[in-house]
Amino acid sequence: MHAAEQAEARELHRTLDFIGLRAHAATVGLIQLCEELLAVGILDAAAIERIKDAIHMEISVSRSRMTGHDSFDDTLKTRLDAIFPQVAKGDTKDRVGSLDDLAQALEGGAGI
């Protein structure tokens, strides 16, 4: 991550913290919005990846001083992949994975 990207991510982090958008309800709403936009073809796989990358960057910025950062990043990526809708090649109508898929992804990673 470049210095300018880090500075921008830190400012966004402070803003999100200030307005309290770390709530589960906001996250669930975002995931549902992504699913709805995928269903009607407005978002594609690349857009979902950019959304997950933005979330990943935000969480990484907030945990930048912790040990085991590489392991944490790998686990975080796996967990984001588990909760966001998946897009099969050529198909924009996939649904969010099952709760079993999410539970398996959450059990497989290092403790976030």
Residues 2-21 have pLDDT tens digits of: 888 888 888 877 777 766 55
Kindly report, residue by residue over 19-49, the tens digit of the pLDDT: 655 666 788 788 889 999 999 999 999 999 9
Residue 45 has a CB neighbour count (10 Å cut-off) of 16
Does the pLDDT value for residue 84 go beyond 80?
yes
Per this entry, what is the length of the chain? 112
Whether 96 contacts 35, CB under 8 Å: yes
What's the total number of domains in the chain?
1
The parent domain of residue 13 ranges over 3-108
Residue 37 has a CB neighbour count (10 Å cut-off) of 17
